[in-house]
Structure 1
Amino acid sequence: MWTMFFSSLFLAASALSTAFAAPASTSNQLSKRCTNSATDRSCWGDYDLSTNYYETVPDTGVTREYWFDIQNGTASPDGYERLVLTVNGSFPGPTIIAGWGDTVVVHVTNSMENNGTSIHSHGIRQNYTNQMDGVASITQSWDGILGGIIINGPATANYDVDLGNLLLNDWSHQTADQLNAIAGTSGPHTFDNCLINSTNTYNDSGSRFETTFASGTSYRLRLVNGAADTHFKFSIDNHTMTVISTNFVPIVPYNTTMLSIGMGERYDVIVTADQAVSNYWMRAIPQETCSDNDNVDNILGIVRYDSSSTADPSSTGYDYEDSCDDEDISTLVPYLSYQVGTSASVTDDFIGTLTGGAGAIKWEMGSTSFVSQWDYPTVLQVAEGNDTWSAEQSAIELPTADQWVYFIIETTFAQAHPIHLHGHDFWVLAQGTGTYDADTVTLTTTDSPRRDVAMLPGTGYLVLAYITDNPGAWLMHCHIAWHTSEGFALQLLERESEMVALMDVATVNSTCANWDTYATEDDIVQDDAGV
């Protein structure tokens, strides 16, 4: 599945009105309008950081169109050549750039030799546009690669230069299909390497990512963890980062020297070039507590204050504790405050467990290992009025609008899991190790982090809340690639009775007909959970 990772602050598509209560008053709100510039990044035309972007979105009238041709190809990002899938001949694909309030149209041609594909915009709250969410077997067919997108909008701190996306990925010299087969029978593969913006060195081959800082200048970096199974801690030697957003949500800024970033998570940071003119290591450190990499100490980029320098840095990294915990939730305070509904209309408990047998590894969320139907996706089933859901489809039916839903997710397994929800931001109410106990765990319902990916700690719990304000079939899953493939997922069937009116049923039918023709001609047999 092609995944576009969104790291900036606001949605590009128009948002429909929701039934949220008005935001609670906050001392952070602005009352002015201005021109977005290096001296004041807080506004965007007639809108600013105090705009309730769940209900009000600018419409610039600008449409930005992109054409993607997905092809088989080869690449050697660390000096080792291997087969890859490319977009317009590049890996990763081209970066989409748009402004808050623009409309983005992406035209995709599948030129791969023998693969279906789908388009999923990771982190975009496809508001009343579930059919565009692009999840294999829930809304589309599957296979794929990744790329980036930047949506410009207001920010909670000022900066001079936007350096754009900084993609962090793990990397193997085997293909994803090969790795998935290994993981499904014997557990996770040990990755050969990791990449910073699609480059690194390996056995004296390849090259490092480099960027140049000018003294006194402040830079915005949009960090994206696009890894399959690696949790990173990111830092730049001798420099402090000001964190301004998490997973698309502007936050009250805070400073740190080391940022913990799980799979599928995104953070925007500002770094000021306030050190002596020299060269400094940029580090993306795989956390061995939950990640298995052969090249842990070599995931490095270079920040140069003198672009003519070619020497390797001699700087020393910050001390850190190897762990796969999220950033402390007390630091991730959304700029726009919302009060969580303090009583849930619906509460669901899920236990993440690992099962095996007959040579196959399966993950369960609750008591079921999720399996979708490649040839009969959820949106087609809904369009046909078929309301019979198998246990393996793990369809949690939420028929009522504007209900608060609480999810309590626990695991007794020692590995941490990044839990991702499509179609929504969720509120992180609690997160910790041990068994969740409602009598002793205090839920954070005021200024709790609002995001779309959060870490379920190993042998721990995660309590999430969201409101049913967006009709559709929305996937909630572990963002570790193998765990999703092995069934660690479920789908939230939200306001099903409203879904058909929002669909382009003709397109759903024609897409499924094309898949059926392809699957029959090429004898395609479903071999995993379907996502």
Structure 2
Amino acid sequence: MTFPALFAFALLSSAYAFGPANVRVLEIVNKNLNLDGFSRSTVVAGGTFPGTPITANKGERILVNVEDKLTDNTMLRSTSIHWHGIFQDGTSWADGPAFVTQCPIAANNSFLYDFTPSGQTLAYISGFAQAGTYWYHSHLSTQYIDGLRGPLIIYDPEDPHKLLYDVDNTDTIITLADWFHTPALNAPFPLFFTTNLINGKGRFTGGPASPLAVVTVTHGLRYRFRLISMSAEPNFIFSIDGHSMTVIEADGVSTQPVVVDSIQIFAGQRYSFVLKATQKISNYWIRSLPNFGNTSFTGGVNSAILRYLHAPICDPETNATASTKPLLETNLHPLVPVPVPGLPHAGGADVLINLNISLDLSAPRYFLTGASFTPPTSPALLQILSGAQLAQDLLPTGSYYALPPNKVIEVSIPGSADVAAPHPFHLHGHNFHVIRSAGSSTYNYVNPVIRDVVNTGTASANDNVTFRFVTDNAGPWFLHCHIDIHLDIGLAVVFAEDIPTTSKEVVPSAWKNLCPTYDALTPDQL
């Protein structure tokens, strides 16, 4: 597929050269943290929750040496880090999902992730540097539930929206996360979170009045806030009393500005919005309402504080109001028009994949079109490098789809009828055009949102979420529900894209050593 020459030239002229980078060290440790009035042992990056922010500029090479210093046997001691939203163009070995692109990093060992965020930021044109709001998290079983989650921000010095805001730094990152008082390995199914944390602080029902996160603004300035859902379970409806929000980015792709008063955000999704600090100098509630659990704000649960500089140090007295301008996914459109790949009608793609979600509660196991993903003993990438050339050669059987190169892929996921729906699905290695969104029966072949996590809706709403992408990035790419416990019980498949090219991928020697080291561990060392 080609673009008009003028459009292609304009894109090429704005591309960034890839620059040098320093090696960053990310220590993965156990630490007792009290985030909500209850102290528990955790698995965290850099000793904090959320983990140490990783920032870079557009086009910058990123090297992160992950040092596993975990010692607590009540939780997993090995680890693996996924750089959520980064395409890993040519570096699928650095993508991070355990038993898909690597073996886990064993305790008392380290592994260097080395990648340059480039690829399909502008859809299926390769070779462009990524910029936007991303995050990193453990991708080993349910480990990120225990705390291994952190922001990854790639700044664009030539951001096309830069005239809309005055402030954009690590102080304007807002993370939403569910929190559990029981380590994930010991938690029963189904798993229910205890606390909703905003920037790592929160209160739980029946708990103490723990300190809440405070976001400070100066009157008259405009702020770019980067909202990241690090959730393992719920989705949230986010709002700030007395303030509207202008959404300018979804999942690393700049969008046409949309003014809203609330944002529903699912696990793994990210949005940037501009807030104008022009209200009376005071305190205002920041609200993050989960879709289940305690769905109130009584006593400051599900809340944080927006505090104007020079406002009194106290809880806000503002009241919640009904949303009249909620963010609708169908109202999001890329700032730079990017043609939808394929033909503008249903089924107008080279490969059509329909994935039906089902749940066997007695097991419990999730299935996608009859297959439940179980991590193999040998990662998919290693299987391919070792000679596997067909989907049926890859284990576990039934969980792989071999995709040919440079083809348009259309994936449809009908809304699920199970009690835990809706399911947010994330595709590694790509973003995609969402041509049909949850809650809509309309197909948009002109200017749909481009993102990497999509809400797949429900059966009761007759949803049939559909998205397209082009196979321009060889590798074994995970497609999975981002509700972590659902992934852990099988709600995933692997797209083995361009297997012949993947089989020639050059991997570092340290990557080759991961499996022998991990395989030699005793059960209590895992």
User: TM-score, with normalisation over the residues of structure 2?
Assistant: 0.82
How much does 1:61 deviate? 2.1
C-alpha contact (below 8 Å) 1:160/1:217 kept by paired residues: yes
Q: Structure 1, residues 272-324: CA drift from partner, whole Å, max 9, x if none? A: 0111122111111112xxx3347655111111224451121111123149xxx
C-alpha contact (below 8 Å) 2:261/2:323 kept by paired residues: no
Q: Structure 1, residues 144-166: CA drift from partner, whole Å, max 9, x if none? A: 51111221111425201114321
Structure-1 residue corresponding to 2:386: 384
C-alpha contact (below 8 Å) 1:78/1:199 kept by paired residues: yes
Q: Structure 1, residues 122-176: CA drift from partner, whole Å, max 9, x if none? A: 1111112111101111012234511112211114252011143211001121122
How much does 1:461 deviate? 1.9
How much does 1:60 deviate? 5.0
Please tell me the residue identity of whatever aligns with 1:336.
Answer: V
C-alpha contact (below 8 Å) 2:26/2:65 kept by paired residues: yes
Q: Superposed, which structure 2 residues align to 1:104-143 within 5 Å?
A: 104-113=62-71, 115-140=77-102, 141=104, 142=140, 143=143
1:259 aligns with 2:263: yes
Gaps of 5+ in 1: 1-19, 32-49, 435-440, 526-531
Structure-2 residue corresponding to 1:35: none
C-alpha contact (below 8 Å) 1:171/1:195 kept by paired residues: yes
Over 3 Å counting, the alpha-carbon distance change for 1:255 and 1:327 in structure 2 is closer
Over 3 Å counting, the alpha-carbon distance change for 1:430 and 1:350 in structure 2 is same
| Residue of 167, 188, 192 corresponding to 2:191 | 188
Q: Distance in 1 between matches of 2:498 and 2:155?
A: 32
How much does 1:329 deviate? 3.0
Q: Distance in 2 between matches of 1:316 and 1:301?
A: 13
Structure-1 residue corresponding to 2:426: 420
How much does 1:201 deviate? 2.9
How much does 1:391 deviate? 5.4
Structure-1 residue corresponding to 2:178: 170
Q: Structure 1, residues 5-36: CA drift from partner, whole Å, max 9, x if none? A: xxxxxxxxxxxxxxx5227989xx9x9xxxxx
SS at 2:364 equivalent = strand
| Residue of 44, 51, 56 corresponding to 2:11 | 51
Structure-2 residue corresponding to 1:238: 242
SS at 1:502 equivalent = coil
C-alpha contact (below 8 Å) 1:24/1:338 kept by paired residues: no
Greater mean alpha carbon deviation, residues 295-304 or residues 506-515: 295-304
SS at 2:520 equivalent = helix
Q: Distance in 2 between matches of 1:308 and 1:470?
A: 51
The aligned length equals: 458
Q: Superposed, which structure 2 residues align to 1:266-415 within 5 Å?
A: 266-287=270-291, 291-293=292-294, 297=298, 298-307=301-310, 309-320=312-323, 327-340=327-340, 341-342=342-343, 343-357=348-362, 360-373=363-376, 375-387=377-389, 388-390=393-395, 392=397, 394-398=399-403, 400-410=404-414, 411-413=416-418, 415=421
C-alpha contact (below 8 Å) 2:476/2:497 kept by paired residues: yes
Please tell me the residue identity of whatever aligns with 2:84.
Answer: H
Structure-2 residue corresponding to 1:21: 2
Structure-2 residue corresponding to 1:429: 435
Please tell me the residue identity of whatever aligns with 1:420.
Answer: H
How much does 1:396 deviate? 0.3
Q: Distance in 2 between matches of 1:493 and 1:158?
A: 41
User: TM-score, with normalisation over the residues of structure 1?
Assistant: 0.81
Q: Distance in 1 between matches of 2:249 and 2:439?
A: 25
Please tell me the residue identity of whatever aligns with 1:106.
Answer: V
| Residue of 207, 211, 217 corresponding to 2:215 | 211
Please tell me the residue identity of whatever aligns with 2:293.
Answer: D
Q: Distance in 1 between matches of 2:417 and 2:244?
A: 36
Please tell me the residue identity of whatever aligns with 2:57.
Answer: G
Q: Distance in 1 between matches of 2:289 and 2:4?
A: 38
Structure-2 residue corresponding to 1:38: none
Q: Distance in 1 between matches of 2:283 and 2:524?
A: 55
Structure-2 residue corresponding to 1:97: 55
Q: Distance in 2 between matches of 1:336 and 1:412?
A: 36
C-alpha contact (below 8 Å) 1:234/1:259 kept by paired residues: yes
C-alpha contact (below 8 Å) 1:167/1:224 kept by paired residues: yes
SS at 2:172 equivalent = strand
C-alpha contact (below 8 Å) 1:426/1:464 kept by paired residues: yes
Greater mean alpha carbon deviation, residues 492-501 or residues 198-207: 198-207
Q: Structure 1, residues 392-449: CA drift from partner, whole Å, max 9, x if none? A: 4501001x22100001111233520101100001110112459xxxxxx542111111
1:514 aligns with 2:514: no
RMSD: 2.4
1:201 aligns with 2:203: yes
Over 3 Å counting, the alpha-carbon distance change for 1:205 and 1:23 in structure 2 is farther
Over 3 Å counting, the alpha-carbon distance change for 1:483 and 1:510 in structure 2 is same
Please tell me the residue identity of whatever aligns with 1:268.
Answer: S
C-alpha contact (below 8 Å) 2:258/2:331 kept by paired residues: yes
Structure-2 residue corresponding to 1:41: none
C-alpha contact (below 8 Å) 1:137/1:372 kept by paired residues: yes
Q: Distance in 2 between matches of 1:483 and 1:397?
A: 23
C-alpha contact (below 8 Å) 2:282/2:311 kept by paired residues: no
Greater mean alpha carbon deviation, residues 219-228 or residues 158-167: 158-167
How much does 1:65 deviate? 2.6
How much does 1:267 deviate? 0.2
Q: Distance in 2 between matches of 1:447 and 1:318?
A: 32
Structure-2 residue corresponding to 1:161: 167
Q: Distance in 1 between matches of 2:428 and 2:295?
A: 32
1:469 aligns with 2:472: yes
How much does 1:224 deviate? 0.2
C-alpha contact (below 8 Å) 1:236/1:282 kept by paired residues: yes
| Residue of 201, 221, 226 corresponding to 1:222 | 226
Structure-1 residue corresponding to 2:501: 498
Gaps of 5+ in 2: 105-139
SS at 1:330 equivalent = helix
Q: Distance in 2 between matches of 1:328 and 1:86?
A: 34
SS at 2:437 equivalent = strand
Greater mean alpha carbon deviation, residues 465-474 or residues 405-414: 405-414
Q: Superposed, which structure 2 residues align to 1:476-487 within 5 Å?
A: 476-487=479-490
